[in-house]
A and B are shown apart, each in its own frame.
Chain A
Amino acid sequence: MEQVDMNTAEATTPPPVCRAGEGAMSIRKVGKIYDPEGVHVVALKDCSLEIAAGEFVAIVGPSGCGKSTLLNTIAGFDGLTSGEILLDGEPLATVDKDPSPGPDRVVVFQHGALFPWKTVLQNVTYGPVVQGVMSEEAANERAQEMLSRVGLNDIETAYPGQLSSGMQRRVEIIRALINNPKVLLLDEPFRAMDTVTKSASHQYLLELYDATGKTIFFITHDLEEAIFLADKVLVMTTRPGYIKKTLQVNLPRPRQYSMLASEEFLAMKAQLVEAVHEEAVKAFEAGEREMA
């Protein structure tokens, strides 16, 4: 359907499989100042973190702390005002380099961004087809295979509006993964889900992570979710945002639900609760000052 220029040889070759070892990110002293109507808002300041290739990193912090701003700068939707971001050693964003989004770092958005007018299959194949890296038939075949891996058979011709929120999220994650990105950026994807749907979604995400080994950058408010899914949980400060605490999660994979009740898990959760609570109080007080 898309107008795509490509030779047939390319059309039949599947995209190169992202090798293990790709997707390492280095975020160095990143700063972002917004200046709407002359009021300086320092969203990020000297924010540094290292993400190894294939690592699952969760980032937690109070609302409005700049988590999404950081994600947007990585995704290329927003520019930096200082610092730099490297992907596999190559500069991705610097102060001088205009950000450009690309299929090597795809985002699953907070409020969902499936195209309502496209069927599930058309949504999933959008990336490869619009980039011209796969023919429509090849993309359809690949999409069906990936959808069935997360238990989504027989919904290819449904529209997103006909699916439950849990199914929509799974479709969206598959739509991102079919691009074979180096990094998957997830912005609170399971927010506002009921507990059952959420834990099912965790299961699917963990299975996909174990199967693909992609680097995952995961924003959330839910501390349990962060520990349960990630290799490393980062606590971000309230504005100006930087990384205040790094928690290594040494739980073995595949993760089991029984781990949620383990002493180790609860001890980690306690640490995070304390760190985040401190920031939440600061954010609340700062908010009160702003209002006054």
Chain B
Amino acid sequence: MARAATMNGASFAYKMRKFVASKHFTRGAMAVIGFFVLWQAGSMGLMPFMHAIPTPVTVAEAFWEFMCTGKYWQSWMDSTLRVTYGFVAAQLLGIPLGLGMGWNRNFKDFTYPLFELMRPIPPLAWVPVSILFWPTNESSIAFITFIGAFFTIVVNVLGGVSAIPRQLVDAAVSFGASPRQVFWRIVLPATIPSIVTGMMVGIGITWNVVIAAEMIAGNTGLGRLTWEAYLAGHTPGIIVGMISIGVAGYVSSMAVKMIGDWLMPWKKVF
């Protein structure tokens, strides 16, 4: 196990230091800084159509003001919780459903048509029914978030199971594996890369959905914060909300990527 340990067991702090020192990080940081410089120049009148957009400096000031309020952090908390509930529920229900559909033909015959009927319905079209059905606002927003990630994860898992090379299953059977062992020891691990892809796509969708749902139905959260800034005509506040959502999404994607790398030590997520 020595080699695997040195490859995968390096400390997180060490990996972060190494990453920050790498050219990949430098390039990314330069692009982000360059974006803000262009934006500043644009809103100072150097680019057309930018006059209504506040400068990064104004936004930074507004950011600071927001960060000094409890409401801002409460919004982070609320949105993050909704995303977490919806995302985790989507994995817990979606992964078994996808595995079942991919592995058992009878089960797929029953479930697939219904699934495909519901899949095209956009998460936001579920808002009215969700508000009527669920007892609290919180649960209805979490449900809409769940819908956002659920279909993606199922489609990915189903695709993953269908793409398992036949010879892997044949090999396991000829080595004496029972159907149960084939499922748990071959089908499930062979599907992990697809599960991780589904998770990566799904986490992005949950953030899209939660923000929209909060704008329509919520009283709190980063989406609501952005919307209220718009209603109040506070343009820097809108941008603060947008950037916060971007940061939140980025951080959650990184977390999901780390889970993915941990789930499949034999290959990188991407």
Contacts and interface: CB of A to CB of B under 8 A. Distances in A.
A112 B170 CA distance: 11
A113 interface: yes
B159 to A, nearest CB: 17
B266 interface: yes
Given A157-B2, A157-B4, A113 B171 contact: yes
Contacts of A112: 167
B266 A117 contact: yes
B175 A131 contact: yes
Contact of A179 (B173, B175, B264, B265): B175
B13 interface: no
A2 B185 contact: yes
Interface residues of B, number: 25
A105 B181 CA distance: 20
B267 A109 contact: no
B267 A126 contact: no
Interface centre among A107, A109, A117, A161 (most CB of B within 10 A): A117
Given A111-B165, A117-B192, A101 B2 contact: no
A234 B190 CA distance: 37
Contact of B174 (A76, A157, A158): A76
A83 interface: no
Contacts of A113: 165, 167-168, 170-171
Contacts of A117: 189-190, 192, 264, 266
A48 interface: no
B167 A161 contact: no
A204 interface: no
B167 A116 contact: no
A77 B176 contact: no
B202 to A, nearest CB: 22
A161 B174 contact: no
A166 interface: no
Contacts of A103: 174-176
A265 interface: no
A105 B171 CA distance: 11
B1 interface: yes
B220 to A, nearest CB: 42
A251 interface: no
Interface string B172-189: 111111000100011001
A210 B165 CA distance: 32
Contacts of A146: none
The number of chain A residues touching the other chain, given as a range, is: 20 to 34
Contacts, number: 75
B171 A107 contact: yes
B18 interface: no
A77 B168 CA distance: 12
Contacts of B173: 101
Interface string A1-27: 010000000000000000000000000
B24 interface: no
Given A113-B165, A113-B171, A130 B177 contact: yes
A101 B176 CA distance: 8
Contacts of B170: 75, 77, 101, 107, 109, 113
A30 interface: no
Contact of A116 (B171, B172, B176, B267): B267
A109 B167 contact: yes
B190 A157 contact: no
A110 to B, nearest CB: 8
A116 B266 contact: yes
A161 B266 contact: yes
Interface centre among B185, B189, B192 (most CB of A within 10 A): B185
Interface in A158-207: 158-161, 179
Contacts of A179: 175
B23 interface: no
19 contacts: A2-B181, A75-B174, A77-B174, A101-B173, A102-B176, A103-B175, A107-B171, A110-B167, A111-B165, A112-B167, A113-B170, A115-B172, A116-B266, A117-B264, A130-B176, A130-B177, A131-B175, A157-B1, A158-B3
Q: Closest 4 CB pairs between A and B?
A: A127-B175, A101-B174, A159-B266, A131-B176
Interface of A: 2, 75-77, 101-103, 105-107, 109-113, 115-119, 126-127, 130-131, 154, 157-161, 179
Given A102-B176, A115-B186, A131-B175, 17 more contacts: A75-B170, A76-B174, A106-B174, A109-B171, A111-B167, A115-B171, A115-B172, A115-B189, A115-B190, A117-B190, A117-B264, A126-B172, A157-B1, A157-B4, A158-B3, A159-B266, A161-B267
